[in-house]
Structure 1
């Protein structure tokens, strides 16, 4: 099986990992690490939004804070504003043409990051609903009548993989306990006999 282009490219320490509508969670973690290594202030801009240069203006006895125009930027202001452009550029370099239409109108790097996260992970409410549903599936997991060990294991792995994708991985010891809890005695004997010559860990 050929290695996806995004996987190959992410091995390069000089290029951002490429996202092409697959393996979003995998890309997100590697992109975060790449951005933090590139410039920690860039990562802050993506998480918190860009810094907006402001200044105080006195109007009689009242002092107001207003946003500076570009002509009023000093060197420090320019460096802060440039961080958003750098963050946006790095994100754009890590996104394939397939995703361009989705994020092309975003002016801020934070908008790009948040839009991708919402599109591929859902809102926090949606993620919680998914997590509740899959957790219930894990807790109520049982063997179907006439189901083979292989079929049961495939269904069980699908559920645990979903939990891992939702960032709630199930410890291996808990998975084993769940399986042993629901196995019929005849299956338990077969499982133990089959593993007598293997390291149970």
Structure 2
């Protein structure tokens, strides 16, 4: 091994129709790691070779074609069979990505409704008797992450406030101590 590190990429995250925003973030990162995001982000044309091309020109053209094909193959591999049937006729990685985004992310109105439902769910959360001090904040953070993935903001201060107000009575002494000793 020559002073570099070996970077091994796991299998792509599989999208089955649920939680598109989370999948899209993971898939974009996956494609970037493989240097395949560019053909998905912008559907460039690979120009034909001119007469008497150089070896470098042939190699560059082949690489561009290969990257487009690999990006498309990765997207095909990263969806369930049901979704694959819908996208298999699409010709480029960009077409596939745009189709999935339009189909599963929804328009601004739909995203807005999802955000409202998540915020309502957040507001209704209460700590359960059987829940640990670690589990409850994780549940709140999970909802906050979903809101953020939809493009809206749920401030950390609001999450902390919610946590402090809704924690069980048996933890009130600890909360009071934290409030008095820390700048919450």
TM-score above 0.5? yes
Which residue matches 1:100?
Answer: 84
- 2:32 is the counterpart of 1:31: no
CA pair 30-137 structure 1, distance change in 2 beyond 3 A: closer
- Which has the higher relative contact order, 1 or 2, with Cα contacts under 8 A spaced 6 or more apart? 2
Structure 1 runs of 4+ with >4 Å offset = 71-74, 128-131, 133-138, 157-162, 176-180, 198-201
CA pair 45-194 structure 1, distance change in 2 beyond 3 A: same
Match of 2:147 among 138, 152, 163: 163
CA pair 72-27 structure 1, distance change in 2 beyond 3 A: farther
CA offsets, 1:34-63, max 9 Å, x none?
A: 111111xx201111113341xxxxxxxxxx
Structure 1 unaligned blocks of 5 or more: 1-11, 54-67, 143-147
- 2:96 is the counterpart of 1:112: yes
Which residue matches 1:45?
Answer: 39
Structure 2 unaligned blocks of 5 or more: 1-7, 129-135, 179-183
CA pair 72-174 structure 1, distance change in 2 beyond 3 A: farther
Which runs of structure 2 are paired with 1:60-79 in the superposition (5 Å)?
68=48, 75=58, 76-79=60-63
Q: Which has the higher strand share?
A: 1
Kept in 2, the 8 Å contact 1:137–1:159? The answer is: no
Deviation at 1:85, TM superposition (A): 0.8
Provide TM-score, normalisation by structure 1.
0.57
